Amino acid sequence: AQSVTQPDIHITVSEGASLELRCNYSYGATPYLFWYVQSPGQGLQLLLKYFSGDTLVQGIKGFEAEFKRSQSSFNLRKPSVHWSDAAEYFCAVGGVYNFNKFYFGSGTKLNVKP
């Protein structure tokens, strides 16, 4: 079965500092990989996605993520965090055998200190 793990429940960074959120997946083949962001009481917004090709993908709001097959990881990065980035971040895996099934990690809550 597919699974996705986000080992950090909470992360606090200072505004202007760099950010890395970790995501590991368990799947036999190369899955589709996603990062979503959610503000309280809101829906999920797609930040970026990886389907194939270049392993460094750029997303919206200055975020990027790198797919590392050898580590089964898809970590999200941002060089300089803004206070508006405070939110919940979910990593997700898209099914290859069932393209309608998406599996979400448990989420990482990002707090930004002034």
Query: Which residue ranges make up the site for other proteins (CB under 8 A)?
Result: 32, 34, 36, 41-46, 49, 51, 90, 92, 94, 98-102, 104-107, 109
Beta bridge partners of 112: 13
Q: How far is the CB of 16 from other proteins (least distance, A)?
A: 27
We find the least distance from the C-beta atom of residue 10 to other proteins, in angstroms, to be: 11
Q: Which is nearer to other proteins, 10 or 69 (CB)?
A: 10
Residues with Cβ within 8 Å of 10's Cβ and at least 6 positions away in sequence, in order, are: 108, 109, 111
DSSP bridge pairs for 14: 113
- Beta carbon nearer to other proteins, 36 or 74: 36
Closest CA to 27 of 90, 75, 96: 96
Q: Which is nearer to other proteins, 59 or 78 (CB)?
A: 59
In one-letter notation, the amino acid at residue 108 is T
What 3-state DSSP class applies to 60? helix
| Shortest spacing between CB 105 and other proteins, in angstroms | 6
